[in-house]
Structure 1
Amino acid sequence: MTLQQTSVIFFIGFLIFVGLVAFISGKLGNRTTSGSADVDYYLGGRSTPTVVLAFSYVTSSISAACFMGDPGIMSTVGWPYYWVVIAVIPGLIIPAVLLMPKMRMQAEKLGSLTIPEYLGDRYKSETLRLIIAGVISVFYIFPLVAQFKGAAVLLESFTGISFKAGLAIISVVIVFYVIVGGLKSVAWTDFVQGLPMLVISVVLVVLSLKAVGGFNGLEMKLAEINPDMLNIVQAEASDAQMSLSGVIGNFMFWCVIFISQPYLCSRFLAIPDIKRKTIGTFLITALILSSVYNSFYLCGLTGRVLFPDVPADYLTVTMAKEMLPTWAAALMMIGIFAAMMSTATSVLLVVGQAIGRDFYSKTINKNATPEQEVLVTRIAVIVIAAICFGFNFVNPPEFLSVVLYLGLSGIGSCIGVPLFSAIISQKSTKEGAIVSAIAGPVSYLVFNYGMAINYWFSCLLAILVSAIFMIGISTYINHSQKTQNGYKACVDPVK
Structure 2
Amino acid sequence: MISESVVAAYLAASLALGAVFKSKADTIEGFLVANREIGDWLLAFTFGATYFSSVVIVVGGAWAYMWGQPSLLIPLFNVVLGALATFMLLGRRINTLSLEHNALTVPELFGRIYSSRGLQRLLGLMAAVGLTLYAATVISGAAAMVGTVFHVNLAAAAFVIAAIMAVYVALGGMYSVAWTDTLQGVIVAAGVAVLLAFSLGHAGGLAALENAKPALPPSKINLRLIFDLALLTSIAVWGLPQLVNRFYTARGPRVVRRATGIATLFAFIVTYGSFLSGLAAAVILQSHPPSDPLKAIPALASIVMGPVGAAMFSAAVLAAAMSTADSIALTVGSAVIYDVLGVRDTRALRAASFLSMIVAAGIAVATLSLPKELASAVTTIFKTGWTLTAGAFLVPVVATVMGARSRAAVVASSLVGALVALAYGASRAAHIAAPLADLSFAVTIAASLAAYIAASIAAPCGRALSRRGA
Letter in 1 for 2:349: T
Q: Tell me which of 403, 406, 411 is aligned to 2:389.
A: 411
Question: Could you tell me how far apart the structure 1 residues matched to 2:111 and 2:381 are?
Answer: 28
Greater Cα shift, 116-125 or 429-438: 116-125
Letter in 1 for 2:57: F
Which residue number corresponds to residue 364 of structure 1? none
Which residue number corresponds to residue 90 of structure 2? 99
Aligned partner of residue 222 in structure 1, secondary structure: coil
CA contact (8 A) 2:3 2:311 kept: yes
What is the deviation of 1:302? 0.8
Which residue number corresponds to residue 318 of structure 1? 299
Greater Cα shift, 100-109 or 397-406: 397-406
RMSD of equivalent CA atoms: 2.5
Which residue number corresponds to residue 436 of structure 1? 413
Question: Could you tell me how far apart the structure 2 residues matched to 1:480 and 1:227 are?
Answer: 55
Letter in 2 for 1:24: V
Question: Could you tell me how far apart the structure 1 residues matched to 2:173 and 2:56 are?
Answer: 25
CA contact (8 A) 2:92 2:257 kept: no
> In percent, how many aligned pairs have the same letter?
19
5+ long unaligned stretches in structure 1 = 31-35, 229-234, 362-367
Which residue number corresponds to residue 377 of structure 1? 349
Question: Could you tell me how far apart the structure 1 residues matched to 2:402 and 2:168 are?
Answer: 36
Question: Could you tell me how far apart the structure 2 residues matched to 1:341 and 1:135 are?
Answer: 22
- Deviation string for 1:325-373 (max 9, x for gaps)? 4443222111011001111101111000101211222xxxxxx5x4xx2
- Deviation string for 1:263-298 (max 9, x for gaps)? 1111011111112xx222211110110000112211
The change in CA–CA distance for 1:162 and 1:462 in structure 2 (over 3 A counts) is closer
1:450-461 equivalent positions in 2, closer than 5 A: 451-453=433-435, 457-461=439-443
Q: Tell me which of 441, 458, 461 is aligned to 1:476.
A: 458
- Deviation string for 1:301-327 (max 9, x for gaps)? 110111131131111111111111444
Question: Could you tell me how far apart the structure 1 residues matched to 2:155 and 2:354 are?
Answer: 18
Q: Tell me which of 62, 71, 91 is aligned to 1:72.
A: 62
Letter in 1 for 2:356: I
Question: Could you tell me how far apart the structure 2 residues matched to 1:395 and 1:85 are?
Answer: 26
Aligned partner of residue 86 in structure 2, secondary structure: helix
Aligned partner of residue 52 in structure 2, secondary structure: helix
- Deviation string for 1:399-418 (max 9, x for gaps)? 32322221011110111111
What is the deviation of 1:186? 0.5
Which residue number corresponds to residue 110 of structure 1? 101
Which residue number corresponds to residue 209 of structure 2? 218
What TM-score do the two structures reach when normalised by structure 1? 0.85
1:268 maps onto 2:247 in alignment:
yes
Question: Could you tell me how far apart the structure 2 residues matched to 1:71 and 1:61 are?
Answer: 16
- Deviation string for 1:373-394 (max 9, x for gaps)? 2211111122222222333445
What is the deviation of 1:226? 7.1
The change in CA–CA distance for 1:483 and 1:259 in structure 2 (over 3 A counts) is same
The change in CA–CA distance for 1:459 and 1:393 in structure 2 (over 3 A counts) is closer
The change in CA–CA distance for 1:67 and 1:395 in structure 2 (over 3 A counts) is closer
1:122 maps onto 2:113 in alignment:
yes
Greater Cα shift, 106-115 or 180-189: 106-115
Question: Could you tell me how far apart the structure 1 residues matched to 2:269 and 2:201 are?
Answer: 18
Higher CA-based Rg? 1
5+ long unaligned stretches in structure 2 = none
CA contact (8 A) 2:387 2:444 kept: no
Which residue number corresponds to residue 223 of structure 2? 242
Q: Tell me which of 357, 360, 378 is aligned to 2:338.
A: 357
Question: Could you tell me how far apart the structure 2 residues matched to 1:163 and 1:253 are?
Answer: 27
What is the deviation of 1:255? 4.5
Question: Could you tell me how far apart the structure 2 residues matched to 1:281 and 1:425 are?
Answer: 24
Question: Could you tell me how far apart the structure 2 residues matched to 1:182 and 1:67 are?
Answer: 26
